[in-house]
C-alpha cells in the first residue's frame, strides 16, 4: 500500500524549472550539498547553488528548483516537507535506504524522489532531468528499492523474538553452532529457527536473510 502511494504521487506532473531559474541545493551535510550543486553545474544547470536551511521557507526561492539531499542518518534539511512543497518551483528529494521513511513522505506529498544508491553521476543527471520536467526519470530503480525495503521491514516484523535473535547473530557472522552455544539451545533448534526465518523472509540463504535485516533497519550493519 505504501509503495502504491509513491507511484501515484510521482505520476502527478510537476512544473519544471526553466534553465535560467537556477537550482537551490540543501542538506544537513554541507559536503553532500556542495557535491550535488557542483555536479548539477557540470551537467548544465549553471545556476545551481547551495543554500542554508533557513532559506527553505515555503514562499522563498521564486521559480528556482530545489534539491533536498538526505544526510547519512536519513535526515532532510528545512521545515516539514508539505511546507517546503508550497514553493512554486519543482522539488527533488535524494536519499538512500536509511531515508526510506522520509522518501515515502516526500513522494506522497508530491515531491520527485531519486535513489542515492545510484552512481553519483547518474544521480545528478537524474535530478537534472527531473528538474527539467522528466518526472519518470528515476521511477524503476526507486520503486524497486522502496518496495524492497517496505517488504523487508514487514517480513522482519513477522519474526518471533527468538527468530530475531537468531537472525541478528547470523548477521553478526556467527555459525549455527556458535548461536546455539550463545543462546543455550540445541543445534537442531537453531537450524529449525533458521529454516523458519528463511521462509518468512522469502529468501534461500543465510546471507540473503542478513541482507534483508540490514535493509529493513536502514542499511545499518547489525552487531551483537
Domain ranges within the chain, ordered by starting residue: 2-149, 158-216
Q: Judge if 2-149 and 158-216 fold alike in CATH terms.
A: no
Pair type for strands 112-115 and 65-69: unpaired
Q: Helices marked H in 2-138 — which ranges? A: 2-11, 30-42, 81-84, 100-109, 120-131
Query: Are 211 and 167 a contacting pair, CB within 8 Å?
Result: no
Q: Which residues of the chain have pLDDT under 70?
A: 1-21, 58-62, 135-145, 147, 218-224
- Its CATH architecture, for the domain 2-149, is 3-Layer(aba) Sandwich (3.40)
Query: Are 25 and 42 a contacting pair, CB within 8 Å?
Result: no
The CATH topology of domain 158-216 is Arc Repressor Mutant, subunit A (1.10.10)
pLDDT for position 120: 92
Query: Are 187 and 127 a contacting pair, CB within 8 Å?
Result: no
pLDDT for position 6: 38
DSSP structure class, residue 91: E
d(CA 164, CA 141): 29
pLDDT for position 57: 73
The model's pLDDT over 106-127, given as tens digits with 9 standing for 90+, comes to 877 778 888 887 789 999 999 9
Q: What count of residues does the chain have?
A: 224
Write out the three cell numbers for 111: 515531491
Amino acid at each position: 500500500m505504501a509503495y502504491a502511494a509513491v507511484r501515484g504521487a510521482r505520476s502527478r506532473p510537476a512544473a519544471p524549472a526553466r534553465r535560467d531559474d537556477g537550482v537551490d541545493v540543501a542538506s544537513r551535510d554541507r559536503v553532500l550539498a556542495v557535491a550535488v550543486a557542483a555536479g548539477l553545474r557540470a551537467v548544465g544547470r549553471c545556476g545551481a547553488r547551495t543554500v542554508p536551511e533557513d532559506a527553505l521557507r515555503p514562499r522563498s526561492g521564486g521559480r528556482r528548483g530545489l534539491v533536498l539531499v538526505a544526510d547519512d542518518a536519513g535526515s532532510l534539511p528545512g521545515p516539514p516537507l508539505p511546507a517546503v512543497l508550497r514553493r512554486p518551483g519543482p522539488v527533488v528529494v535524494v536519499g538512500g535506504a536509511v531515508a526510506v521513511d522520509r522518501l515515502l513522505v516526500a513522494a506522497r506529498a508530491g515531491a520527485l524522489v531519486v535513489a542515492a544508491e545510484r552512481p553519483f553521476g547518474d544521480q545528478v543527471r537524474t535530478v537534472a532531468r527531473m528538474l527539467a520536467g522528466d518526472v519518470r526519470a528515476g521511477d524503476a530503480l526507486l520503486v524497486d528499492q522502496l518496495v524492497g525495503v517496505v517488504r523487508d521491514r514487514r517480513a522482519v516484523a513477522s519474526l518471533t523474538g527468538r527468530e530475531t535473535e537468531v537472525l541478528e547473530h547470523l548477521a553478526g557472522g556467527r555459525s549455527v553452532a556458535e548461536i546455539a552455544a550463545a543462546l543455550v539451545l540445541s543445534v537442531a533448534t537453531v537450524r529449525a529457527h533458521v529454516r523458519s526465518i528463511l521462509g518468512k523472509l522469502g529468501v534461500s540463504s543465510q546471507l540473503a536473510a542478513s541482507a534483508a535485516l540490514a535493509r529493513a533497519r536502514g542499511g545499518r550493519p547489525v552487531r551483537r
